[in-house]
Amino acid sequence: MKYLVFAFVILGYSVSYSQVGIGTITPDPSSILEINSTNSGVLFPRLSVSQRNAISNPATGLLIYNTKYNSSSITSALQGLQIG
């Protein structure tokens, strides 16, 4: 019985705390994910134009690295937007 109570306490805590921190134990309350590092970066999926175009119904704001243009690409409401 005490294991069940313990499980509910842990579950309740994890549901109420919705921020995730990588490299930090105190992510900003306004973020869903905060990544903190002084010597590393984030590596997003690397796709060709045809691979990117093969994604059915891509979400607005989907971020990938476009290997044809060697730049980041964000899906806008109308089309992919190249950055840089």
d(CA 54, CA 56): 6
pLDDT band for position 19 (cuts 50, 70, 90): confident
Q: Are residues 48 and 84 in the same domain?
A: yes
Q: Are residues 47 and 28 in the same domain?
A: no
Q: Are residues 26 and 58 in the same domain?
A: no
Residue 68: the pLDDT is 93
Domain hosting residue 19, numbered range: 1-38
Q: Are residues 28 and 3 in the same domain?
A: yes
DSSP state at residue 33: E
Residue 35: the pLDDT is 92
Task: Identify the H or E element spanning 74.
Answer: strand 71-75
pLDDT tens per residue, range 40-49: 998 999 999 8
Residue 70: the pLDDT is 92
